[in-house]
């Protein structure tokens, strides 16, 4: 009897361990299509925001290399030359008229519903602890539902409910949650881009994220990822000391 109980507990522990490993594996896989790769990448991000009936458009050139990213504002012209620099989890804002860059937070609003942390590549596997909650059918595809809890308090979101499609391991939707577990923003992702050279063949890469206010659904930001490609970046590009005037 005792031996049966011990065996049962052992099996349960193994099963939980395996589930956790599965969740992490899923998350790592989905991150790759959102820029979390060691090779250098670059793309253009267009952020279109509709808030309280008014629309604005911004354009950035993103140069990313794993956890580092150099995001340069291209449009509108008043923002031209402004730079957002990501070094691991630290972030800076800089414009040519400043003596020194300003340390900013990833969760600070970039524009509309988009936070600063949404603009560059995503490293959820590094930043969050995933738990596999259930599986669900979303838009005709079977998907795993993961609950991600932040490993640090300086991340873009505290908790995320994340839907990863079973067939290709791509994250297709997300709910950004408050500490109390209430959704305050929702996101839907599309993967119409292909990047050559990441694996053997062309790899699916994110093409659009639509982030909507959970309460006011007309308030939303759409981030479009244009022409993502492999690129080589100088190490010095991501050095904050080079931003000083």
Positions touching another protein (CB under 8 A) are: 49, 51, 56, 78-79, 82, 93, 95, 97-105, 108-112, 116, 244
The span from the CA of 16 to the CA of 195, in Å, is 35
Q: Smaller CB distance to another protein: residue 25 or 80?
A: 80
What residues pair up with 79 in beta bridges, in sequence order?
none
Min dist. Cβ of residue 119 to another protein (A): 11
Q: Smaller CB distance to another protein: residue 85 or 171?
A: 85
Min dist. Cβ of residue 60 to another protein (A): 12
Min dist. Cβ of residue 98 to another protein (A): 6
Min dist. Cβ of residue 102 to another protein (A): 4
Q: Smaller CB distance to another protein: residue 15 or 108?
A: 108
The span from the CA of 242 to the CA of 245, in Å, is 8
Min dist. Cβ of residue 154 to another protein (A): 11
Q: Smaller CB distance to another protein: residue 114 or 147?
A: 114
Choose among 184, 191, 198, 183: nearest CA to 165.
191
Q: Smaller CB distance to another protein: residue 35 or 112?
A: 112
In 3-state terms, what secondary structure has residue 105? coil
The C-alpha torsion from 33 through 35 and 36 to 38, rounded to 10°, is: 110
C-alpha dist (Å) from residue 65 to 77, 85, 221, 231 = 26, 12, 25, 9
Min dist. Cβ of residue 245 to another protein (A): 9
Min dist. Cβ of residue 33 to another protein (A): 28
CB atoms within 10 A of CB 68: 19
Q: Smaller CB distance to another protein: residue 39 or 57?
A: 57
What residues pair up with 149 in beta bridges, in sequence order?
129, 159
In 3-state terms, what secondary structure has residue 224? strand
Q: Smaller CB distance to another protein: residue 116 or 193?
A: 116
Token pair 């993502």 in the structure block, residue: 228
**E-assigned strand segments in 139-190:** 141-150, 159-165, 171-177, 183-190
Question: Could you give the residue ranges of the DSSP H alpha helices within the chain?
Answer: 2-32, 116-119, 124-127
């Amino acid at each position: 009897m005792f031996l049966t109980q011990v065996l049962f507990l052992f099996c349960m522990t193994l099963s939980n361990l395996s589930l956790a490993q599965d969740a992490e594996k899923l998350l790592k896989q989905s991150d790759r299509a959102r820029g979390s790769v060691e090779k250098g990448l670059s793309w253009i991000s267009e952020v279109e925001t509709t808030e309280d009936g008014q629309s604005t458009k911004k354009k950035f050139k993103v140069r990313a290399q794993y956890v580092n990213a150099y995001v340069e504002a291209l449009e509108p012209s008043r923002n031209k030359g402004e730079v957002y620099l990501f070094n691991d989890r630290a972030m800076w804002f800089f414009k040519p008229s400043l003596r020194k860059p300003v340390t900013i937070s990833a969760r600070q609003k970039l524009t509309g519903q988009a936070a600063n942390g949404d603009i560059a590549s995503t490293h959820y596997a590094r930043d969050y602890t995933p738990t596999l909650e259930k599986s669900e059918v979303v838009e005709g595809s079977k998907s795993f539902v993961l609950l991600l809890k932040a490993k640090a308090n300086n991340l873009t979101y505290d908790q995320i409910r994340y839907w990863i499609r079973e067939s290709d391991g791509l994250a297709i939707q997300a709910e950004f949650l408050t500490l109390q577990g209430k959704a305050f923003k929702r996101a839907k992702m599309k993967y119409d881009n292909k990047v050559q050279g990441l694996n053997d063949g062309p790899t699916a890469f994110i093409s659009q994220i639509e982030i909507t206010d959970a309460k006011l659904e007309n308030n939303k930001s759409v981030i479009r990822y244009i022409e993502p490609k492999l690129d080589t970046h100088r190490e010095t590009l991501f050095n904050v000391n080079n931003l000083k005037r």
